[in-house]
A and B are shown apart, each in its own frame.
Chain A
Amino acid sequence: MDNIRVQGITQVDPKTLGILWTDGKKSALDVVMLRRKCPCAACIDEWSHEPRLKPEDVKDTVRPVKIESVGLYALTIHFNDGHRTGIYTFKYLRDLGPLA
């Protein structure tokens, strides 16, 4: 993972985020899953690492509004439920879903 970076980011369909990595592999990530796996301090306890957000707190209809890069190492997603504090590192995203 050390030298693997992002080559492209696309919206695959209304609820799938596609990432093309520099090693040619692809991730297809469900946006509702991404909202439920939000790594921010409000969703995951900073000390215990226990999830504070319960899966049922997130509706299946949640969608991104905008996706932006953070520095060179991560991206952030503005969701239409108003949540926008999660910084998803590329390493985290790479480990989240199966690679194609």
Chain B
Amino acid sequence: MGIMEFRNRIAERLSSKVVPQQAVSLDEKTVLDALRVVQDPDLHKDIVTLGFVRNIKISAEAHSPEAGHKVSHEAGHKVSHEAGHQVSLEVNLTTPACPVKEQLKAQCEAALMALPGVTSTKVTMTASTRGSLPLNSGSPVAASLGQVKNIIAVASGKGGVGKSTTAVNLAWSLAKSGSKVGLLDADIYGPSIPLMTHLKDGATASGSLIEPPKVDGVKIISVGMFGQSGKATIMRGPMAAGVIKQFLSQVAWGELDYLIIDYPPGTGDIQLTISQTAPVTGAVIVTTPQEVALIDVRKAISMFETLKVPVLGVVETMSHFICDGCDKKHFIFREGGGARVAREHGVAFLGEIPMDQGLVEASDHGKPYVASHPKSPVAAAFAKVAGAVASQVSILHAENKNVLQHFSIEWAN
């Protein structure tokens, strides 16, 4: 919503009041009514209807020479005519990674200041990630995933598109915004997460569960932690499936807002096992822009559609290379392929990550780029992707209210 349109809506609302302005008493209801002009751009509802507004406090504020000095009615002080009110409240968003946090805050403040009698505002933006996995208490993954709110699959149609790099930087970006994040490296045959995150600690036992080690606050499990480094993990399908099932049922993931699963490339056995074992909230598809990669993206999307795992959107990697000599964008793998395939399938385009030598070096040196170069354009691009992913998850929860996701019924004979 443009700022002009927003102002007009406030003005409209104020002029529709029949009562003279000085007669409007400032109470919680007035405040809530005023905030109804503030819309969540993703959920297409106002923040009051969505139940985001909490802890409304209205206190009298005197305009005495000592600016900001508060006078309470209870104390018996005389409130002068010019005395105003401070409104303080909390806006509880659906994810700490909300990309429009600042915009919503500014809109709330403007809407409150437009109320007669309000002289100052204090809007605190908080967030509690929505979501809970649909699990029965008897489910084999209940002990491990019971406190996980969302599982996000990071998948691709083919290998080498930067899927693990995206998974790591997505995990780190979400964690940076204040979310509790876990990262499961399900790429059984080519686990690269331990190298990319400089993971040195092994897993420890915690009762009957495995305690995952943490790097920068992100809990990580990878098959690479258990084998000998440099040696290939040679496993037949059923064995690989067994390992994945263990990662989903015997790891103490604890309380997480997002568990990111780095899928193996392609559409095969492991992908199927994960989707059958755990209720995956949604999938992020990673691709490079050229047509040969996009063919496989279509297959990946079709697989998730068959498995009824909602596709959250498409991330395009290696979008372009900015020449350090001439600052020109070079579209090495052609331009706009990711956005086109997203549009074709009616899913969101979550963002594009440019090619960057530093990103490759950071991955090889075991420091996620968003942590080593937080101010770089690539880090900004990943932060944007993380915000978009978090938004899509929130939208999904809003849409999924009456879908039965998990059930077990005993037949009565």
Residues of A within 8 A of B (CB): 2, 5-11, 14, 22, 31, 63-75, 80, 89-90
Does B407 interact with chain A (Cβ within 8 Å)?
A: yes
| Cross-chain contact A66 with B411 (CB below 8 angstroms) | yes
B138 nearest CB across to chain A (Å)? 10
A-B contact pairs, 21 of them (CB 8 A): A5-B403, A7-B402, A9-B407, A9-B409, A11-B409, A22-B402, A22-B403, A31-B411, A63-B411, A65-B410, A66-B408, A67-B408, A69-B407, A70-B276, A71-B276, A71-B308, A72-B309, A72-B405, A73-B309, A74-B308, A89-B306
In the complex, which residues of chain B have a beta carbon less than 8 angstroms from the beta carbon of A68? 407-409
| CA distance in complex: A71, B404 (Å) | 11
Structural contact, A72 and B409, CB atoms closer than 8 A: no
Q: In the complex, what residues of A have CB within 8 A of residue B407's CB?
A: 9, 67-69, 75
Residues of chain B touching chain A, judged by Cβ–Cβ distance below 8 Å, are 275-277, 279-280, 305-309, 402-413
Q: Which residue of the partner chain A has the closest CB to B411? A: A64
Q: Are A6 and B404 in contact (CB under 8 A)?
A: yes
Residues of B within 8 A of A70 (CB): 276
What is the bound-complex CA distance between A75 and B407, given in angstroms?
9
Cβ contact of A9, chosen from B276, B279, B402, B404, cutoff 8 A? B404
CB-CB under 8 A from B405, the residues of chain A are 69, 72
Chain A, Cβ-Cβ closest to B278: A71
Chain A residues near B305: list those with CB within 8 A. 2
- Which of B279, B402, B410, B412 is A72 in contact with, Cβ under 8 Å? B279
Q: How far is the CA of A5 from the CA of B403 in the complex (A)?
A: 6
Docked Cα-Cα span, A90 to B276, in Å, equals: 14
Chain B at the A interface: SS class:
loop
**Interface-centre pick from B275, B277, B308, B309 (highest chain A CB count, 10 A):** B308
Give Cα A75–Cα B406 distance, bound, in whole angstroms: 9
A interface secondary structure, majority: strand
The count of A-to-B residue pairs whose CB atoms sit within 8 angstroms is 69
Are B412 and A71 within 8 A (Cβ)?
no
What residues of chain A lie closer than 8 Å to B277, measured between beta carbons?
A: 71
- How far, in angstroms, from A28 to B411 measured CA to CA in the complex? 15
| Cβ B411 vs Cβ A71 within 8 A | no
A7 CA to B399 CA, complexed, in Å: 13
- A5 vs chain B, min Cβ distance (A): 5
Judging by beta carbons under 8 Å apart, are A67 and B404 in contact?
no
CB neighbours of A69 from chain B (8 A): 404-408
Tell me the nearest residue of chain A to B281, going by C-beta: A72
B280 & A73 in contact (Cβ 8 Å cutoff): no
Q: Given A7-B402, A63-B413, does the pair A71, B408 have CB atoms closer than 8 Å?
A: no
**A10 to B407 Cα, complex, angstroms:** 10
A8 to chain B: closest residue by CB: B404
| Shortest Cβ distance from B306 into A: residue | A73
CB distance from B407 to the nearest CB of A (A): 5
Residues on A with C-beta less than 8 A from B403 are 5-7, 22
Chain A residues with CB below 8 A from B279, complex form: 71-72
- Residues in B whose Cβ lies below 8 Å from that of A65: 410-411
8 Å CB contact of B308 from A8, A11, A67, A72: A72
> Contacts of A63 on B, CB cut-off 8 Å?
411, 413
Interface centre among A10, A72, A80 (most CB of B within 10 A): A72
CB distance from B253 to the nearest CB of A (A): 19
- Within 8 Å CB of B307, what residues of A? 71-73
Inter-chain contact A67/B411, CB cutoff 8 Å: yes
C-alpha spacing A29/B403, complex, angstroms? 20
Is B411's CB under 8 angstroms from A11's CB? yes
Q: In the complex, what's the smallest C-beta–C-beta distance from A93 to chain B, in angstroms? A: 12
Interfacial chain A residues near B409, Cβ < 8 Å: 9-11, 66-68
Q: Is the CB of B309 within 8 A of A71?
A: yes
A10, B410: Cα distance in complex, Å: 10
Distance in Å: Cβ of A64 to nearest Cβ of chain B: 4
